[in-house]
Amino acid sequence: MSRLLAKGTFLIMTSELFFILSNYLIHIFIARKLGVESYGIFGLLLSLFMINRAFLNTGVSRATSKFIAEDPNKSKIIFFASRTIQLWMAIGFMAMYIIFAPLLARLLQDVSLTYYIMFIGVMILPLAMLSLYTSGIMNGLRLFREQALIKGGYPLLRVLFTIVFILLGGGIFGALLAYFIAIILGLVWSIYLLREHMNSDKNEDNFFLRKKIFLFALPVAFSALCFSLFRNVNTLLIKSLLDYNVAVGLYTAANTISTIPYFILISLSLTLTPSISNATAKGNVVLVRKYITQSTRYILLLLVPGTLLLSATSGEVLRFFYSNSYVSAAPVLSVLAIGSAFLTLFTIFTSITTGGGKPWIEMSLNFFLILLLGVFNFVLIPMYGLIGSSYAVLLTAILAFGIIAFIVYKKYGTIGDIFSVMRIIGVSLVLYVIASWWQMSGWFLFVQYLVLGVFYVLLLYLFREFGQEDWDLVKRVFER
For 328-348, what is each residue's pLDDT tens digit? 999 999 999 999 999 888 888
Q: 36-45, 57-66, 113-122, 440-449 — which is least confidently predicted?
A: 57-66
Maximum distance among all Cα pairs of the chain, rounded to whole angstroms: 70
Q: What is the band of 320 on the pLDDT scale with cuts at 50, 70, 90?
A: very high
Mean pLDDT to the nearest integer, 238-245? 85
d(CA 396, CA 16): 27
Q: What pLDDT does residue 95 have?
A: 92
pLDDT, residue 55, reads 73
Q: What is the pLDDT of residues 371-384, one digit of tens each?
A: 899 899 999 998 99
- The CA distance from 337 to 136, in Å, is 33
Task: Supply the pLDDT for residue 273.
Answer: 54
In the predicted model, what is the mean pLDDT of the chain?
81
Determine which helix (DSSP H) or strand (DSSP E) holds 385, and give its type and residue range: none
pTM for the complete prediction? 0.81
Three-state secondary structure string covering 268-332? HHHHHHHHHHHHHHCCCHHHHHHHHHHHHHHHHHHHHHHHHHHHHCHHHHHHHHCCHHHHHHHHH
Higher local confidence (pLDDT), 65 or 10 = 65
Long-range contacts: 214-220, Cβ < 8 Å, 24+? 214/60, 214/63, 214/85, 216/59, 216/62, 216/63, 216/66, 217/58, 217/59, 217/60, 217/62, 217/63, 217/85, 218/59, 219/59, 219/359, 219/360, 219/363, 220/58, 220/59, 220/62, 220/63, 220/359
The residue ranges of every structural domain in the chain are: 1-220, 244-480
The answer to whether residue 30 scores a pLDDT higher than 60 is: yes
State how far the Cα of 335 lies from the Cα of 313, in Å rounded to an integer. Answer: 12
Q: Is 73 exposed, middle or buried (0-12, 13-18, 19+ CB in 10 A)?
A: exposed
Distances (CA, A) of 122 to 221, 353, 369, 400, 448: 20, 37, 29, 35, 46
- Higher-pLDDT residue of 9 and 15 is 15
With a cut of 80, say whether residue 326 has pLDDT above it: yes
* Separation of CA 182 from chain center: 20
Give the number of other Cβ atoms within 10 Å of residue 444's Cβ.
Answer: 12
Q: What confidence category does residue 472 fall into, taking pLDDT thresholds of 50, 70 and 90?
A: low
Higher pLDDT, 382 or 354: 382
Q: Which of 146-150, 279-283, 390-394 has the lowest mean pLDDT?
A: 279-283
pLDDT-based confidence at 275, cuts 50/70/90?
A: low
Nearest to 272 by CA among 291, 300, 299: 291
- Render pLDDT for 164-216 as a digit per residue (tens, 0 to 9): 999 999 899 999 999 999 999 999 988 888 877 666 544 555 666 677 777 77
Tell me the pLDDT tens digit for each residue of 85-129. 888 888 988 999 899 999 989 988 888 899 999 999 899 889 888
According to the model, what pLDDT value does residue 181 have?
Answer: 94
Q: Which residue has the higher pLDDT, 77 or 443?
A: 443
Calculate mean pLDDT across residues 235-244: 85
Distances (CA, A) of 339 to 187, 390, 418: 36, 8, 21
Write down the pLDDT at residue 115.
92
Give the model's pLDDT for residue 295.
78
Number of H helices, E strands in the chain: 19, 0
Q: What is the chain's percent helix, strand, coil content, to nearest 5?
A: 90, 0, 10
- Is the dihedral angle over the CA atoms 453, 458, 462, 467 positive or is it negative? positive
**What is residue 56's predicted lDDT score, i.e. its pLDDT?**
74
